[in-house]
């Protein structure tokens, strides 16, 4: 079955770095647009970053631009989110999302907690 398994979340100090991973299975990874979302307490879920299938183009929320980098390894069916210069306001549950183009389906990971605190 379709699975998106996230890892890499945890506690980090402000200014620190963290890399999230999302391992995908059960669908054709290289035909999927991959996204990272996050949801902070009391706030709506927001799109953080997206990477497309074709040329690897990426887009980021303004709040993370220049600090976060999304990447994908199609051979490993894994998408990453490298988070640098972390701020307390980055604290949220981060969700991996796949848009599987052939079926027009969306799949979600379980979420991983990122806490930025001193």
- Give me the chain's average pLDDT, please: 96
User: What are the φ/ψ torsions at residue 81 (nearest 5 degrees)?
Assistant: -130, 105
- Alpha-carbon distance of 93 to 2, in angstroms, equals 21
Confidence of residue 110 (pLDDT cuts 50, 70, 90): very high
Does residue 69 contact residue 52 with C-beta atoms inside 8 Å? no
Note the pLDDT tens digit of each residue in 59-107: 999 999 999 999 999 999 999 999 999 999 999 999 999 999 999 999 9
- Rounded average pLDDT over 5-26: 98
d(CA 86, CA 56): 24
What pLDDT is stored for residue 55 in this prediction? 79
Q: What's the pLDDT score for residue 56?
A: 86
The 10 Å Cβ neighbour count of residue 105 is: 12
């Amino acid at each position: 079955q379709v699975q998106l398994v996230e890892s890499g979340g945890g506690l980090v100090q402000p200014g620190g770095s963290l890399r999230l991973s999302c391992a995908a299975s059960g669908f054709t990874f290289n035909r999927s647009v991959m996204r990272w979302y996050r949801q902070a307490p009391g706030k709506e879920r927001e799109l953080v970053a997206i990477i497309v299938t074709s040329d690897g183009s990426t887009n980021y929320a303004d709040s993370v631009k220049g600090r976060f980098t999304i990447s994908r390894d199609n051979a490993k069916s894994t998408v990453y989110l490298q988070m640098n210069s972390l701020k307390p306001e980055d604290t949220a549950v981060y969700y991996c999302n796949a848009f599987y183009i052939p079926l027009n389906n969306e799949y979600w990971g379980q979420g991983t907690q990122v806490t930025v605190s001193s």
